[in-house]
């Protein structure tokens, strides 16, 4: 190595929207002494896996560094535990798609010139932005261009906002907690010899909020849909910003955030450009009824209660929030009174009509209608145990099983996707149907219904693409109620 050799830092990332799915990578070469950005690289790769995209990002970063100075020493920083451990020689490389890429990356510089470090995803935002820009360009039928990139600026803005939040936390006496490893790292560790699941999808609709309580179930208005302690599990989140958006800064006004979120949800999806815009279902749970705070089962076979005064106020608040976003093009509601009333309040604010869809009704809870979970446990313990154990079990008295509900919701989904292709539609429904939409979109097992919190008048969202793919974009958003 000559005396003039330089030291570089390479930060790289890759992503696949589907794993495998439309993919891209991003890489940046920094001057190790000054931190100055020397080279940015990004490329849309077509359909490959997440891990292959990460390796392609590493390879591009190393090649860019070698072009600057073939005698340089390089320190690679990536949030992929898999790539870092494999390139460091601590994990074996088993997957046939990754072996040649790893071998090629190892040949760019002589042995000993390159070191590797795992970093949290939050510290790899520049490369992450580049990868998402490349995927967004691919969705438009284009290749990424450095002349249009805002990745460095976006990453810097995020860092500044994060620093501001940390400083504010410290001023208030709070001690910031250590950032947990992201979902991507956990997946990489689990898949040491092969492809890991896609690390995390972008947040295209608005800021996701998970309810504070956990639910044993979420059927109807029962205790399980609030802060019940039957399952006692809390849902964690690992969120990755992407698909065209910098997370709003701490000083961004709520209205501006709503407008920004609305633009993102109305943007094309992640698939190839010939698929067109997705059908986006914004899923609104109805406002409270008199049974909701009492945590009673309230399905399609009970008393069909109307909204309480609190529920009507909740509907008015969500209507104002949706009006600010400005993206809803149609409203479809369950035939039950509480959903039709909620839908009509929103429709009046948005100047839209309401279409009633029978398939969006709540599950029929049979003889459990109007009872609390505890009352069902006392009166029908064996039936309740069977219902909690199997999606095929029906509530006492011939109610509707979770399996039957899922069949109905899947058929309703397909019908509405065909009717509203490329449009953003508000579906006003109930706990079980909304959770089932989300479960089916995620490919999650039936027991996942017991692990979701869904508050009254909350918003969730799923986008459906022409190739049959789905993307959960929002879950249990309730900021409009505060």
Provide the annotated active-site residues.
Answer: 286, 362
Length of the chain: 482
- Edge-to-edge order in the sheet of strand 424-429: 354-356, 330-333, 424-429, 279-285, 459-464, 470-477
Long-range contacts of 212-217 (CB under 8 A, 24+ apart): 212/453, 213/453, 214/451, 214/453, 215/450, 215/451, 215/452, 215/453, 215/454, 216/373, 216/388, 216/450, 217/388, 217/449, 217/450
Instruction: Report cis status (omega within 30 of 0) of the bond before 84.
Output: no
Q: Residues 172, 175, 178, CA angle at the centre, nearest 5°?
A: 145
Alpha-carbon separation of residue 66 from 73, 83, 110, 321 (angstroms): 9, 20, 11, 51
Q: Other CB atoms closer than 10 Å to residue 232's CB: what's the count?
A: 10
Q: Please name which of 77, 108, 84, 83 lies closest in space to residue 97, comparing C-alpha atoms.
A: 83
Alpha-carbon separation of residue 441 from 119, 208, 437, 444 (angstroms): 30, 16, 6, 8
Residue with tokens 């249990």: 476
Q: Please name which of 27, 119, 104, 127 lies closest in space to residue 68, comparing C-alpha atoms.
A: 27
CA pair distance 155, 160, nearest whole angstrom: 9
User: What stretches of 121-247 show up as alpha helix (H) in DSSP?
Assistant: 125-139, 151-171, 183-190
Contact 147, 157 (CB under 8 A): no
Q: Residues 232, 239, 440, CA angle at the centre, nearest 5°?
A: 65
Q: Other CB atoms closer than 10 Å to residue 424's CB: what's the count?
A: 23
CA pair distance 8, 150, nearest whole angstrom: 22
Rounded to 5 degrees, φ, ψ at 233 are -115, 140
């Amino acid at each position: 190595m000559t005396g003039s050799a330089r030291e570089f830092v390479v930060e790289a990332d890759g992503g696949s929207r589907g794993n495998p799915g439309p993919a891209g990578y991003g890489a940046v070469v920094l001057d190790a002494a000054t931190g100055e950005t020397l080279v940015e690289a990004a490329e849309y790769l077509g359909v490959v896996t997440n891990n292959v995209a990460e390796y392609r990002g590493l390879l591009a970063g190393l090649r860019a560094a070698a072009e600057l100075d073939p005698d340089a020493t390089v320190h690679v920083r990536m949030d992929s535990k898999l790539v870092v451990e494999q390139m460091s020689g601590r994990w074996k490389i088993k997957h046939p798609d990754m072996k040649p890429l790893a071998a090629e990356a190892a040949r760019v510089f002589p042995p000993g010139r390159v070191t590797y470090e795992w970093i949290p995803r939050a510290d790899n935002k520049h490369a992450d932005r580049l990868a998402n820009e490349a995927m967004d360009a691919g969705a438009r039928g284009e290749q990424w261009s450095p002349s249009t990139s805002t990745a460095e600026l976006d990453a810097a803005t995020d860092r500044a906002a994060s620093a501001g939040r940390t400083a504010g936390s410290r001023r208030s006496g709070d001690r910031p907690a250590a950032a947990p490893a992201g979902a991507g790292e956990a997946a990489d560790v689990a898949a040491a010899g092969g492809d890991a699941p896609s690390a995390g999808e972008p947040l295209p609709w608005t800021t996701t909020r998970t309810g504070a309580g956990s639910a044993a179930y979420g059927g109807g208005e029962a205790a399980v849909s609030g802060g019940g302690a039957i399952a006692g599990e809390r849902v964690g989140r690992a969120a990755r910003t992407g698909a065209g958006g910098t997370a709003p800064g701490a000083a961004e006004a709520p209205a501006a955030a709503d407008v920004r979120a609305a633009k993102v949800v109305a943007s094309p999806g992640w698939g190839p450009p010939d698929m067109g815009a997705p059908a986006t279902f914004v899923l609104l749970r109805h406002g409270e009824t008199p049974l909701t705070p009492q945590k009673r089962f309230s399905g399609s076979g009970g008393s069909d209660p109307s909204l309480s005064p609190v529920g009507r106020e909740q509907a008015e608040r969500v209507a104002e929030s949706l009006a600010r976003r400005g993206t809803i093009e149609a409203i479809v509601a369950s035939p039950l009174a509480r959903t039709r009333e909620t839908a009509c309040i929103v429709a009046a604010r948005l100047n839209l009509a309401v279409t009633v869809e029978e398939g969006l009704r709540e599950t029929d809870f049979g003889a459990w209608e109007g009872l609390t979970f505890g009352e069902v446990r006392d009166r029908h313990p064996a039936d309740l145990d069977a219902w909690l154990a199997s999606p095929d079990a029906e509530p006492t008295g011939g109610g509707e099983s979770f399996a039957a509900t899922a069949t109905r919701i899947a058929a309703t989904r397909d019908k509405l996707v065909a009717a509203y292709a490329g449009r953003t539609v508000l579906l006003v429904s109930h706990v079980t149907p909304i959770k089932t939409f989300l479960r089916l979109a995620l490919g999650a097992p039936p027991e996942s219904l017991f692990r979701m919190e869904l508050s009254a008048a909350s918003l969730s969202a799923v986008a459906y693409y022409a190739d049959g793919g789905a993307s959960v974009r929002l879950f249990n958003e309730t900021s409009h109620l505060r």
